[in-house]
Structure 1
Amino acid sequence: MHGNAVVVRLKSLYALQNIRCILKDLKLHEGRVLCMGGFMVLIDFSSKDRAVMARDEIVGNKVVNEVGSLFGKVIKGARVERIGLDNSFQYLGVLVNHGNRIQDEAFIRWRGETFKVWVV
C-alpha cells in the first residue's frame, strides 16, 4: 500500500460515521477505508494518483490558511466543510499590522495549473 494510501485523523464522530459518504462526495468512493482506532482511518486507493488527489482534497483548510498567512498571522483558521455547502468562499481571521482593509489576490498552483483567488 506504500504510496497508495492516506492516513487521516478525523475530528468528529460524525465524520467517522460518514467517511464513505464524504469520500463519495469528493469523487473518491473507490478508496477502501480501514479503521486504525480512535479517530484514525487509513484510506487505500488503487493508485498513487488517487491517493495524492485525496490528500489534496482533505487538506482544504491548510490551503486556505496558507493563503491567509500571506497577509498576516492567522488567528482564526478556516473551516472548509465538504458536505452540502458552497466552498467558493471562506472566512478566517488574520492579524495584520495596519488598519487598512485587505483587498488583493493570490495565486495557487494545484496539479500543474495556476488559479487566482481573491482575498477581501
Structure 2
Amino acid sequence: MLGKSKGVGESVSDVGGASGAGSVASEKTIIVPDRTSAFKELYGLAVVGRTVDLETLVDFNKLLKIAKTEFSRLHYLGGLSVLISFADEASAKRFLDSRGVWGPWFNKLEMWGGQSLPLERVAWLKLIGIPLHLLDMDVLMKVGELFGKVLHIPKISDGEQDLSIFRVGVLAEEASRIREAVTLKWKNRSFRVWVEEE
C-alpha cells in the first residue's frame, strides 16, 4: 500500500538504511544564502493579506477602486493571498490602519517585511462518476474537503444536462497535482469516484 506523498518542505528519509535496498529517492536540496531577500524594496511599502473567500479575491481590483484606494501594484501570491504595494510608507500604513475599509475583505493583513507565507493554491477538481442517487451538495462538499478547504461548490439544478462531472474549488496546501480515486460508502455498497485537478 502506498503512503501519502511528501509535500513541499517535508523531508524524505531513507527507509532502507545505508545499503540503499528499499530506499526512497531523496529530494534535491538547494542551500539559499541567508542574505537572500527578494522584494526587499517593498518592505514598509506593501501589505500582504489573505482574502476571506474566492469571490473577494476575484473582485479585489474592483473593490480597491470602489474604495478609492490608491495603490501602485497588486500581486497575486497563490491561494487566497495578495500583495498590495503603495507609492510610499505613509500610504501603506494608512491602508493598514483603515480596518473599516479592508476588514470585510481579509482574514489577515500585515505589513510586508519578508515573512514566509504558507503554501496555498486554488485547485479546481473534476469529480467524475458520482452516482445520480448520491449527487448531493453535501456529498460534493465532503469529497472536496478531503483535498483542502472548499471554496466553491456548484449548484445542482434540474436544468443541468451533464450530470457526470462536477467542478469543486478547494484551497490546497500541497504543490503536487491532485489525481486520485475516492470511495463513497452508502448503505452496504461502495462507489468509486475519480477526482482530477484541472
TM-score category of the 2 structures, normalised to the smaller one: 0.3 to 0.5
Structure number with bigger Rg? 2
Task: Give TM-score scaled by structure 2 length.
Answer: 0.30
